[in-house]
Chains A and B, each alone.
Chain A
Amino acid sequence: MKKLNKKLPRSGAEWLRALHNFLSNNVVPIMFVLICAYCIPRADLSWSYLLNEGMTRLGRNAFLILSLLIPVMAGMGMNFGMTLGAMAGEIGLIFAADWQVWGIPGLILAAIISIPISIVLGIMIGKLLNLAKGREMITSYMISFAMDGVYQFVVLFMMGPIIPIIHDSLKLPRGYGIRNTVSLLNMRQSLDNLLAVSVGGVKIPVLTLIIIAAACLFILWFRRTKLGQDMRAVGQDMEVARDAGINVERTRVISMVISTVFAGFGMIIYLQNVGNFPTYTAHTQIGMFSIAALLVGGASVEKASIKNVFLGVILFHTMFIVAPRTGTVITGDSMIGEYFRVFVSYAVITIALVMYEAKKRKAKSAAGLQLAADQLAEEEAKAK
Chain B
Amino acid sequence: MKNKTSNRRLIFQIAAVVVLIAIAYAMTIVGRGHTVYLDNKKLEYDGKTYDTPYKVVVLVDGEQVAKLYDRERGSATCIGQKFTVTLEITEKKGGNETTQTYTIPLPKNMDGIIINLPAYLAGLGEDAYLTEFIPSPDAEIVEEDTPSGDDFGMDDMTMDEVPVG
B23, A108: Cβ atoms under 8 Å? yes
B165, A174: Cβ atoms under 8 Å? yes
The reply to whether the CB of A101 lies closer than 8 angstroms to some CB of chain B is yes
Select from chain A the residue with minimum beta-carbon distance to B21.
A112
Chain B residues with Cβ below 8 Å from A186 are 33, 77
Instruction: Please provide the chain A residues from 93 to 126 with a CB less than 8 Å away from any CB of chain B in the complex.
Output: 99-106, 108-109, 112-113, 115
A156, B146: Cβ atoms under 8 Å? yes
The reply to whether the CB of B138 lies closer than 8 angstroms to some CB of chain A is yes
Select from chain B the residue with minimum beta-carbon distance to A97.
B33
The reply to whether the CB of B20 lies closer than 8 angstroms to some CB of chain A is yes
A101, B144: Cβ atoms under 8 Å? no
A105, B31: Cβ atoms under 8 Å? yes
Q: Contacts A100-B33, A108-B27: A172 and B79 contacting too (C-beta < 8 A)?
A: no
The reply to whether the CB of B7 lies closer than 8 angstroms to some CB of chain A is no
Q: Write the nearest CB–CB distance from B42 to chain A, whole angstroms.
A: 31
The reply to whether the CB of A327 lies closer than 8 angstroms to some CB of chain B is no
Q: Contacts A100-B32, A101-B28, A102-B31: A115 and B20 contacting too (C-beta < 8 A)?
A: yes
B111, A109: Cβ atoms under 8 Å? no
Chain A residues with Cβ below 8 Å from B24 are 108-109, 112-113
Q: Write the nearest CB–CB distance from B108 to chain A, whole angstroms.
A: 10
Question: Which among A106, A108, A173 is the interface contact of B142 at CB below 8 angstroms?
Answer: A173
Q: How large is the interface on A (under 10, 10 to 19, 20 to 34, 35 or more residues)?
A: 20 to 34
Select from chain B the residue with minimum beta-carbon distance to A113.
B24
The reply to whether the CB of A177 lies closer than 8 angstroms to some CB of chain B is yes
Q: In whole angstroms, how far apart are the Cα atoms of A299 and B31 in the complex? A: 40
Q: Write the nearest CB–CB distance from A163 to chain B, whole angstroms.
A: 15
Q: In whole angstroms, how far apart are the Cα atoms of A172 and B23 in the complex? A: 31
Chain B residues with Cβ below 8 Å from A174 are 143, 165
Q: In whole angstroms, how far apart are the Cα atoms of A102 and B76 in the complex? A: 14
The reply to whether the CB of B46 lies closer than 8 angstroms to some CB of chain A is no
Q: In whole angstroms, how far apart are the Cα atoms of A180 and B141 in the complex? A: 15
Instruction: Please provide the chain A residues from 152 to 206 with a CB less than 8 Å away from any CB of chain B in the complex.
Output: 152, 156-157, 167, 172-174, 176-177, 179-180, 186
A152, B23: Cβ atoms under 8 Å? no
Chain B residues with Cβ below 8 Å from A21 are none
Chain B residues with Cβ below 8 Å from A179 are 144
Select from chain B the residue with minimum beta-carbon distance to A173.
B141
Q: In whole angstroms, how far apart are the Cα atoms of A99 and B111 in the complex? A: 9
B27, A101: Cβ atoms under 8 Å? yes
Question: Which among A106, A113, A172, A281 is the interface contact of B31 at CB below 8 angstroms?
Answer: A106
Q: Contacts A152-B147, A280-B147: A105 and B79 contacting too (C-beta < 8 A)?
A: yes
Q: Write the nearest CB–CB distance from B73 to chain A, whole angstroms.
A: 20
Q: Contacts A102-B79, A157-B165, A173-B141: A109 and B31 contacting too (C-beta < 8 A)?
A: yes
Question: Which among A102, A173, A281 is the interface contact of B138 at CB below 8 angstroms?
Answer: A173
Chain B residues with Cβ below 8 Å from A100 are 32-34, 111
By the criterion of a CB under 8 Å from any partner CB, how many residues of chain B are at the interface?
23
Q: Write the nearest CB–CB distance from B49 to chain A, whole angstroms.
A: 35
Chain A residues with Cβ below 8 Å from B33 are 100-103, 106, 186
Q: Write the nearest CB–CB distance from A302 to chain B, whole angstroms.
A: 29
Chain A residues with Cβ below 8 Å from B77 are 102, 186
Q: In whole angstroms, how far apart are the Cα atoms of A157 and B165 in the complex? A: 8
Q: In whole angstroms, how far apart are the Cα atoms of A280 and B147 in the complex? A: 7
Q: Write the nearest CB–CB distance from A263 to chain B, whole angstroms.
A: 18
Q: Write the nearest CB–CB distance from B162 to chain A, whole angstroms.
A: 12
Chain B residues with Cβ below 8 Å from A176 are 165
Q: In whole angstroms, how far apart are the Cα atoms of A280 and B31 in the complex? A: 26
Select from chain A the residue with minimum beta-carbon distance to B17.
A116
B165, A101: Cβ atoms under 8 Å? no
Q: Write the nearest CB–CB distance from B70 to chain A, whole angstroms.
A: 31
Chain B residues with Cβ below 8 Å from A112 are 20, 23-24, 27
Q: In whole angstroms, how far apart are the Cα atoms of A152 and B163 in the complex? A: 13
Q: Write the nearest CB–CB distance from A284 to chain B, whole angstroms.
A: 9
B28, A109: Cβ atoms under 8 Å? yes
Chain B residues with Cβ below 8 Å from A108 are 23-24, 27, 31
Chain B residues with Cβ below 8 Å from A157 are 165
Q: In whole angstroms, how far apart are the Cα atoms of A115 and B33 in the complex? A: 23
Q: Contacts A106-B27, A113-B24, A186-B77: A101 and B143 contacting too (C-beta < 8 A)?
A: no
Q: A100-B32, A174-B143 are known; give 17 further A-B pairs, CB within 8 A.
A: A101-B28, A102-B31, A102-B77, A103-B31, A104-B31, A105-B28, A108-B31, A109-B31, A157-B165, A167-B111, A172-B144, A172-B146, A173-B141, A177-B146, A180-B145, A180-B147, A280-B147
Where the two chains meet, the residues of B that have a C-beta atom closer than 8 Å to any C-beta of A are 20, 23-24, 27-28, 30-34, 77, 79, 111, 138, 141-147, 164-165
Supply 8 A–B pairs (Cβ within 8 Å), ascending by A: A106-B33, A112-B27, A156-B147, A156-B164, A173-B144, A174-B165, A177-B146, A180-B147
